[in-house]
């Protein structure tokens, strides 16, 4: 076990992917009131303004200073499909300013390039993030869904590496080579979609992914290893999966629109034995599951 705390990013944050503006405002407010101090959103989630409203309300009621809260948002780079226009340097600046305005903040704590799909514009987009940081508008800059080849491009162009990389990580997609690379380069690791092995993960209409019928069957089975381990540790399956990530030194972004589950996701005061951590390592199935359009780590 690593038990390594990230250098820049808080250990636990609230994820807001797929939240409506109403849900995002409510859960941002409730999570901050409960004790969360990191909120993660993105331009493509279309709920930044709602997150900002929830933040302002909670911070006012708790009399919190801006420095007490960590906010992450993301640039949509474009390039996922032919009609998805790729942003140039100026486009990145405009997108950042729009996110900053919607959130109602003076600065962002962490600004990420959401994916590596911009291809020929990745370096230009990264240079724009460096410019934003140099102007004091953002504390930390990073990427999301970037693989080793994408990060090596920055090194080849004599550019600084990201402060963080937010990637899909859970027992079925452990990415050991990429994780080791990030640790060697001192890049914070932020895990998203930690709850993929749950039967309730993206089970509603419209919540598409590459989760197969076989994997869903394993999730629903009473013999699911995560069901058995959650019983052993007297916690929920979600709590066990989230704690697994924390034990490895990742930051996590559990999402819930239910107050009791939001609270459970924050209460992870237990430890997983080395024997069980070693067992979970054997459950790795390789590639990513969350992106229905294909694994962004495989983008050239």
Q: How far is CA 42 from CA 49, 152, 182, in A?
A: 11, 25, 22
Q: What residue has token string 């951590």?
A: 277
Asked if residues 52 and 84 have their Cβ atoms less than 8 Å apart, the reply is: no
Element at 168 (helix H, strand E): strand 164-168
How far is it, in rounded angstroms, from Cα 210 to Cα 225? 21
**Strand order across the beta sheet in which 164-168 lies:** 14-15, 38-40, 70-75, 108-113, 138-144, 164-168, 188-192, 251-252
Asked if residues 197 and 241 have their Cβ atoms less than 8 Å apart, the reply is: yes
Please calculate the CA angle 19-28-210 and round it to the nearest 5 degrees.
30
Is 266 part of the annotated catalytic residue set?
no
- State the catalytic residue, choosing from 29, 34, 36, 45: 45
- Give φ, ψ of 187 to 5 degrees: -100, 125
Catalytic residues: 45
């Amino acid at each position: 076990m690593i038990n390594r705390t990230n250098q820049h990013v808080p250990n636990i944050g609230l994820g807001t992917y797929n939240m409506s503006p109403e849900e995002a405002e409510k859960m941002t407010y409730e999570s901050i009131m409960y004790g969360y101090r990191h909120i993660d959103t993105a331009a493509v989630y279309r709920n930044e303004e709602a997150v900002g409203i929830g933040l302002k309300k909670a911070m006012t009621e708790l009399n919190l200073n801006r420095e007490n809260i960590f906010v992450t948002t993301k640039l949509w780079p474009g390039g996922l499909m032919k009609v998805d226009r790729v942003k140039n340097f100026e486009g990145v600046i405009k997108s950042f300013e729009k996110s900053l305005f919607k959130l109602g903040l003076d600065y962002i704590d962490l600004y990420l390039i959401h994916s590596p799909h911009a291809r020929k514009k990745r370096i230009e987009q990264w240079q724009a993030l460096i410019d934003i940081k140099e102007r004091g508008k953002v504390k930390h800059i990073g990427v999301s869904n970037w693989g080793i080849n994408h990060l090596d491009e920055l090194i080849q162009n004599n550019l600084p590496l990201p402060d963080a990389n937010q990637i899909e990580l859970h027992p079925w997609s452990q990415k050991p080579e990429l994780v080791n690379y990030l640790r060697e380069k001192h890049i914070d690791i932020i895990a998203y979609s930690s709850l993929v092995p749950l039967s309730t993960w993206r089970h509603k209409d419209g919540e598409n992914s590459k989760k197969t019928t076989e994997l869903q069957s394993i999730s629903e089975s009473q013999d699911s290893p995560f069901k058995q381990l959650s019983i052993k540790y007297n916690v929920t399956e979600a709590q066990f999966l989230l704690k697994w990530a924390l034990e490895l030194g990742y930051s996590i972004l559990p999402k819930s629109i239910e107050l009791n589950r939001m609270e459970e996701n924050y209460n992870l005061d237990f430890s997983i034995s080395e024997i069980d951590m070693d067992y979970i390592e054997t459950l790795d199935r390789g590639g990513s599951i969350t992106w229905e359009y294909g694994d962004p780590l495989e983008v050239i």
